[in-house]
Every structure is written in structure tokens, then in C-alpha cells.
Structure 1
Amino acid sequence: MEWSGRGVVLTTRKYGENDVILEAMTLDHGRHLGLVRGGRSKRHRPVLQPGNELDLTWKARLSEHLGQFQVEPLSLRAGDLMTSSVGLAGLQHLAFLVRLLPERYPYPRLFDALVVVLDHMSAADAAGALIIRFELELLRELGIGLDLSSCAATGIREDLAYVSPKSARAVSREAGRPYHDKLLPLPSFVLEGQRQAGSELTWADVRQGFDLTSYFLNRHLEERGSGDSGTRAQLLGALEKRYRDEFPWNF
């Protein structure tokens, strides 16, 4: 068995004296593990850092085996990510989210979204919004995607302001007004699919976006009998500080 393709490093763990087991999110084979011979060497160590994008070749005698990776660097972004509190917390949170997916199943849209997030992690006005979009895509892949196309009560597509926690469907401002306290706020930037994030986004907008995705992710974790890793709280703390420092007028 053999395949080659792109992958983003999630984690590594020591295996023996010189080798490591690499966990990567790949374009065509999803979350995948494999052994890297000499992975703790001076040559491989800087390459096998979380967030780096690699050209991977995986080989094994049988498909169910762990197998071995051969690695070549494509984009070494780990150094920049790890010097930033948002970058470091974001890496840990994204790795936690990806582990909610089954191994060895392709999620090409999610892989592309991961690459976009990592490439924009240093942009204070984009990182939070892009991670929220990543979480929305993850929810869709988990089979619990939000339907934000129209109002669940009236069918209209304009002025959507809430999400029903029961149906995960959007609700218009007028229809949701009597039930305001029971609905989740829907920040408008989430609806603007192609626009990523701009400096006009306030911290309140970003926080509402995370509150929205957190509700459904936490419910999924409870159904699985698992808990929050704590990475979200660390990420929110780092993002809040960045907003305070760089966009105090939008805080």
C-alpha cells in the first residue's frame, strides 16, 4: 500500500530513541498517522512541527497497518505560529477539533479551510472569524451543520438574527423577537460566505460567533461522552487580548 499527498502536521510523539509517530491532516486521506524514521534528528525535527505543511508519502504492507511516512517540507509556518499566543492556542484548538473526525476519511473542504486559517493566523482581524468558519464546516462534516439559508419560522431570507438551539436553523429578527432569550445570536458576518473578516468586526461579533459554534460542539461532545479540552478558553483569551491591543476602538 502506498499513497502520496499534502498534509498539515497536527502532533508528533516519540517512538523509540530516534523515531516519531506523526499525526497529520491530509488532503486526500483525512487525519492519518504514520511512523517517521529518524523523526527526532536535526534534519527532521524543524520540519515535523505543528502547522507545517508537508509532502507526504505513506507506505505499509497492509492498509490497516500504522505504516511509515516519508516527508518533504512545503510550507514551514510553524515558527511564526509558535511565536504568537493566538497562533499557539489556535494550533492546539484546531488539532483538538480535527480529532473529532474519524481517521483516514477524506475531508477536502475541511483541509482547505485548515490551510486558510493557518495562513491568516497572524491577522488580528481575520483569525477569529476564520476559525469560526472552520468550526461551522466541521459541524457540517459531523452531520450537525447549521441551516442558515432562511428563517425556520417564516421562510424569509432577509434579516436573519438568531439560530434555534433545537433545530440549528436560522430565525429572522422579527420572528425571533418574542423568544429572544431562548435563541442564539447570529452575527451577520457568518452569513456573508465569501467575505472573511474585516477591521469593522468587533470583539462582540467574534465572541457571538464562538458562542454559536460552542453550543453545538459542546452538545456533540456531551453526546460522545467526552469533554472540552480547554483549548477554546485559551484561544479566546489570546484573541481577546489581541483585539484589546490592536483594535481598542472595536472592543
Structure 2
Amino acid sequence: MKWEDEAIVLAARPHGETAAVVQLLTRAHGRHAGLVRGGQSARLRGIYQSGNRVSATWSGRLPEHLGSLECEMECSYMARVLDDSDRLAALSAATAVCEGAMPEREPHPACFEGLLALLEALEGDHWAEVYVRWELAFLAELGFGLDLSSCAAGVENDQLAYVSPRSGRAVSLSAGAPYRDKLLPLPGFLVGRGEGGNAAVAEGLALTGFFLERHLFHPHDKALPAARLRLEQRFTPDGGTSRGGSQ
């Protein structure tokens, strides 16, 4: 058995003295692991950094086997953001979410394209807002999309301001006011109001994090990845963060 595919490195973990087990997100084969012989060596270690885009070749005796991987570097997105701790945190969070939430060996080309677009956007000014949108799209691709198109209570003459934690549907400002303590804030940039900002990103990460945990991690007795929690901790409701060049 053998295939070749475009891929993004999600994680690499030591195996034995010199090898590494590498998790990839591939375009046509979904999340897929393989053994890289010599993967801990100085020559190969740089290729298997989270977020790197590679050309991958997998081979194995049977499809269900771990198999062997050989990869060639196409683009090092990690190197692009290595000097910016906030953008690096976003890259680490995204790859950790993909590794922890995506089913193994189930093709999701849209997830590959979405992660690739996010990695490209990390050098832009509004990378944090793009990250929140990416998590919304990720939820939708895996079957748990939120409905932010209209008010769940049928109120159409007021701005959307909340999301129901039960239904994942938007709720208007007036309809949600009596229940605001039980609803999740909906940042305006997700429904066409404003460009975002740190406080809005904090709300967005809290929103998507709630549904990621509920639908994709908790059912498998997992918590949100530590890297994802660290990203959320970089943003606070009062707008505090150290992210540079994002406002």
C-alpha cells in the first residue's frame, strides 16, 4: 500500500531512540499518522515541525498499519511566525485542535484547505479574527456548525448579540436581554459589525471553544488541548493581549 499527498504537519512525537510518529493533515487522506525513521535527527527534525507544509509519501503492508512516512518540505509556516509568540500560539492551537478533534483517516479536504488558509493569514493584521472564523468553519465541516444568520426567537428588527449554548443559534439583543447570563456573547465581527479587536476576539474564542469542547472533545473524554487554552488566555474581555500588528 502506498500513497502520495499534500499535507500539513500536526505533531511529531519521539518513538524509540531515533524515530518519530508524525501526525499529518492530508488533503485526500484526512488525519493520518506514520513512522518516520530518523525523525529525531537534526537533519529531519526541522521538517516535522507543527504547521509545516510538506509533500508526503506513506507506505505500509496493510491500510490499517501505522506505516512509514517520508516527507519533503514545501513551506515552513512555523519559521514565518517564530518571532511572534501570539501568532505562534495560534499556529500551535490550530494544529492541536485538528489533531485532537479530527477523525483518523477520514478525508476532509475542506479542513486541509481551511488550515492552509489560516496559516497563510497568520502574517496578516487581522490574524486573530481569522482564527476565530477558522474554528467556526472547522465546526461546520465536522457537522456542528452554528447558525448565526437570524435570531432564534424570531426577532428581526434588532442586532444579533448572543448565541444559545443549547441550540448554537444566534439571539438578538432585545430577545436575549432577559437571559443574557445564560447566553454566550456573539462578537460583532462574526455577523458583519466592526472589524473585531482584542475584546471581540476574546468573546469569539470563548464562543468557539465552548462548542469545540461540547461537540468534538467532551464526547471522547478529552479536554480542549492545552495549546488552545493558552491561546484563549492571551486575550481578555477588557481587550488585553500582547499581539503585535493586529489592530
Q: TM-score when scaled to structure 1?
A: 0.85
Question: In 2, distance between residues paired with 1:175 and 1:203?
Answer: 26
Which of the residues 197, 204, 227 maps onto 2:199? 204
| Aligned residue in 2 for 1:44 | 44
Match of 1:224 in 2: 220
Q: Provide runs of 4+ in structure 1 moved above 6 Å.
A: none
Cα separation, partners in 2 of 1:13 and 1:225, compared to 1, 3 Å? closer
Instruction: Find the aligned partners of 1:175 and 1:139 in 2 and give their Cα distance.
Output: 26
Distance 1:50 1:12 in 2: 8
Asked if 1 retains the 8 angstrom alpha-carbon contact of 2:158 and 2:174, the reply is no
Contact 1:150 1:158 in 2 (8 A): no
Alpha-carbon distance in 1 for matches of 2:245, 2:76: 26
CA contact (8 A) 2:160 2:173 kept: yes
Cα deviation 1:15-56 (Å, max 9, x = unaligned): 333322211111111111011233234432221211110011
Q: Percent identity?
A: 41
- Whether contact under 8 Å (1:150, 1:157) holds in the other structure is no
Q: What is the CA–CA distance in structure 2 between the aligned matches of 1:224 and 1:19, rounded to whole Å?
A: 28
Aligned residue for 1:242, secondary structure, equals coil
Aligned equivalents of 1:157, 1:58: Cα separation in 2: 55
Helix, strand or coil: the match of 1:189? helix
Aligned residue number for residue 141 of structure 1: 141
How far, CA to CA, are the matches of 1:209 and 1:12 in structure 2? Answer: 29
Deviations 1:55-83 (A, max 9, x none): 11111111001111121111122223333
The equivalent of 1:91 in structure 2 is 91
Per chain length, whose mean CA-contact separation is higher, i.e. which structure has more relative contact order (CA < 8 Å, sep 6+)?
A: 2
- How many Å separate the matches in 2 of 1:238 and 1:174? 31
Distance 2:234 2:112 in 1: 24
Distance 2:88 2:114 in 1: 18
Residue in 2 that maps onto 1:154: 154
In structure 1, what is the equivalent of residue 19 of structure 2? 19
Q: CA RMSD in A?
A: 2.5
1:54 alignment partner in structure 2 = 54
Give distance in 2, aligned partners of 1:106 and 1:135. 18
Aligned to 1:189: 189
Displacement of 1:138: 2.4
The question of whether the paired residues in 1 share the 8 Å contact of 2:22 and 2:36 is answered with yes
Q: Distance in 1 between matches of 2:68 and 2:61?
A: 10
TM-score calculated relative to the size of structure 2? 0.86
User: Partner of 1:143: helix, strand, or coil?
Assistant: coil
**Whole-angstrom distance in 2 between the partners of 1:108 and 1:24:** 13
Corresponding residue number in structure 1 for 2:74:
74
Q: How far did residue 246 of structure 1 move? A: 4.6
Distance between the aligned counterparts of 2:233 and 2:55, measured in 1?
Answer: 33
The answer for unaligned runs of 5 or more in structure 1 is none
Unaligned stretches of 5+ in structure 2?
A: none
Name the aligned partner's letter for residue 15 of structure 1.
Answer: H
Q: Secondary structure at the match of 1:133?
A: helix
Q: Equivalents in 1 of 2:142, 2:207: separation in Å?
A: 16
